[in-house]
Amino acid sequence: MFANPLGLLTLLAIPAILAIHFLQRKSITLPVSTLFLLERTQREATSGRRFERLIPSVPLWMQILAVLLLAWFLAEPRFKKEDTVQRVAIVVDSSASMTVFKDEAIAALRDKLPSLQGSASAMELTLLPSTPGADRIYAGGSTDELLTSLGDFSTDTGITDPSYALRLARSIVSNDGIVIYLTDTPAETLPYESQLIAVGKPTDNVGFTGISFEEKEGALTFRAIIRNYGKSSATRSWSLLATNGTTEPREFSIKANSFVTIQSAFPQGAENVRLTLTPDAFTLDDTLPIVAPQPKALNLFTATSPAFRSLTDKLLRSLQSTRPSTDAASSDLVITSYDPLDPALPATNAILFVEDPTSAGKYLKGGILAESHPLMDGINWQALLVRETLQLPRLATDRVLLWQEKRPLIFLREENGQRVLCFNFDLRLSNATQQPAFIVLLHRFAESLRTAKVAPQALNLETGQQIRIATAPGIPVEVAATDPSGKPMTTPTSGRAPAVPGFLTISQEFNDSEKVLGSLVPTGDGSVNLLTAAVHFADTREADLSACDESELDAISNTASLDLHTAPDPLSRLWILVLLAALLVAWHFTSGKETGKSVAA
């Protein structure tokens, strides 16, 4: 192996040396009796071939030897070291769009990996996903096993920044190793001296992007949005599939980079309901599983005085998925007013208003300050006007949410697992009910109670969406997932929806003593589905394949690899001495011949 193969061009000097020696004519001996006859000898010009036979001589062989030694020295020969390893780390793009080009990715690695070993005795391979914090896909020395692991790996996440994975890959292979980012979209620059292999190509795609539901004349209807990401018009067909039947395919046309909305009635009593499109290269958005949405219902009990009846009626109409209750103790939310003549506070989750039977005081003065709290974030109370009224008895543990100077206007009491939102002024003596912030706060408080309630619900989720579900403590949680056709698949363990479309259920098994938790209706075996969900793909960035393209692996400098895995010729200094000796010998014989000629003359 040569570090500088161009040094071998020095060998071209050998034909030049031979040509010079071919042109040398052998001297002709003319015997004469006396020297005076030399003056009368006349050399006649002769013509003929200019190349004579090659005359072997010591200078010829020394000159050829010198050229060979010089070519060997300039080519910088190197010899393999034993037990050296070339480390290569490959970060594969984990985004969903790579599912279209997985075969191309495997073929590209099969073609490129063997050449990366270079002069090393062996190669150490590491395959990493671009998702931060994910486990390694493969680590070992077999190219075939790496390609098999890549084939089994699911690229199904959203767009991720590969910088973290590339930094980890560089730390694994150190400065002398090779880091490759395998993706479907070329990048201008990559950190940590990483190389790029892009295997994508612009591809048209038509798929579902989302769904909404609406009640019309007592029937549940859905509207699904379809997008064409391509640069040309397309014709597709859609149909609705369920356990109790399938609709006929309905054909539609969609223009380039545009949207189409389809709608239909949701089939009652059906399971595994899904919308399907004519399949294309990107299949994740060609199927849209759906379930009839069913939020957790809040049992609402009202116990305000007649003075707040109109406000209470408005709240009942504005709060969604609520049902009236006649028992305050078993209700999820109680709306009540505080009467100073009967200062009893509710022992359940409640919204509490002050009722001041006395005459109204002056308007409070001073700046209004909202504390940082999830219930208060992003809402504006600066237009609130409040008159001086009676105040609620406040505890040291109460969390004040809104101040006016030193006067607490709204505070939150959390005690014994119950939450009470207290309005520390008479709403009738303020403009609070005309403030958007007031309605937003009430809705947020009600939704926080709904989220914490242990009860069944049905939702339509996106792939990879964070799942927040209330469960009863101390009881095992069972998670089951199926693909759109109902075939079981690997259940997620990260608290998120599956990365591929399908159906998901989360359940707990209750016994008779545990049925008091919420409005649970156990099935025959005591198991309750706390969540029934349909999971669909809706990442429009990953579904858009128009920016995908190819990019070859840049030429990797092998200088560092040669220095690491090979050693220089240990006899290089000896060859220099031999080269000098050959030049001296050639010079000696050449100069001696010239001296001999002059003596003979």
Residues 110 and 33 in one domain: no
For the ranges 21-35, 66-80, 202-216, the maximum mean pLDDT occurs at 202-216
8 Å CB contact between 66 and 586: yes
Residues 47 and 127 in one domain: no
The whole-number pLDDT of residue 448 equals 93
Residue with tokens 């002769």: 46
- Whether residue 358 is contained in a domain is answered as yes
Burial 343-369 (b: 16+ CB within 10 A, else e): eeebebbbbbbbbbeeeeeeebeeebe
**Whole-Å CA distances, 229 to 95, 100, 217, 540:** 17, 15, 35, 9
**What SS3 class is residue 459?**
strand
- Whether residue 293 is contained in a domain is answered as no
Residue 16 has pLDDT above 60, yes or no: yes
- Quick one: tokens of 552? 């070859």
Residues 397 and 462 in one domain: no
Residues 67 and 92 in one domain: no
Residues 178 and 235 in one domain: no
Residues 445 and 356 in one domain: yes
**444-493 per-position pLDDT tens digit:** 999 999 999 999 999 999 998 999 899 988 888 999 999 988 889 888 77
Number of domains making up the chain = 5
In 3D space, the residue among 418, 442, 459 whose CA is nearest the CA of residue 331 turns out to be 418
Residues 155 and 182 in one domain: yes
Residues 591 and 528 in one domain: no
In 3D space, the residue among 120, 85, 111 whose CA is nearest the CA of residue 182 turns out to be 111
Residue 476: give its domain's CATH number.
2.60.40
- Whether residue 292 is contained in a domain is answered as no
Residue 576 Cα to chain centre, angstroms = 57
What 8-state DSSP symbol labels residue 430? B
Query: Which amino acid is it at 510?
Result: F
The whole-number pLDDT of residue 584 equals 82
The whole-number pLDDT of residue 566 equals 64
Residues 160 and 303 in one domain: no
Q: At which of 537, 556, 589 does a domain end?
A: 537
DSSP for 435-485 reads: -HHHHHHHHHHHHHHHHHS---EEEEEETT-B------TTS-EEEEEE-TT
The whole-number pLDDT of residue 25 equals 55
For the ranges 107-121, 152-166, 222-236, 581-595, the maximum mean pLDDT occurs at 222-236
Query: Which amino acid is it at 93?
Result: D
Host domain of residue 482: 457-537
| CA 176/CA 190 separation, integer angstroms | 17
Local confidence band at 516 (pLDDT 50, 70, 90 cut-offs):
very low
Residue with tokens 């219902």: 297
| CA 112/CA 103 separation, integer angstroms | 14
| CA 122/CA 210 separation, integer angstroms | 50
| CA 532/CA 273 separation, integer angstroms | 13
Local confidence band at 1 (pLDDT 50, 70, 90 cut-offs):
low
The whole-number pLDDT of residue 599 equals 43
Q: At which of 287, 318, 345 does a domain end?
A: 287
- β-strand partners of 126: 89, 139
The whole-number pLDDT of residue 593 equals 56
Residues 523 and 552 in one domain: no
- Percent over 90 (pLDDT), the chain: 43
Residues 559 and 529 in one domain: no
- Whether residue 63 is contained in a domain is answered as yes
For the ranges 334-343, 456-465, 490-499, the maximum mean pLDDT occurs at 456-465
| CA 550/CA 302 separation, integer angstroms | 65
Residue 150: give its domain's CATH number.
3.40.50.410
In 3D space, the residue among 227, 246, 247 whose CA is nearest the CA of residue 236 turns out to be 227
Local confidence band at 48 (pLDDT 50, 70, 90 cut-offs):
very low
| CA 61/CA 583 separation, integer angstroms | 10
Residue 521 has pLDDT above 80, yes or no: no
Residue 235: give its domain's CATH number.
2.60.40.3230
| CA 399/CA 373 separation, integer angstroms | 10
Q: At which of 409, 424, 452 does a domain end?
A: 452
Print the SS3 string covering 87-101.
Answer: EEEEEECCEHHHHHH
Contacts of 435 (CB under 8 A, 6+ apart): 381, 383, 384
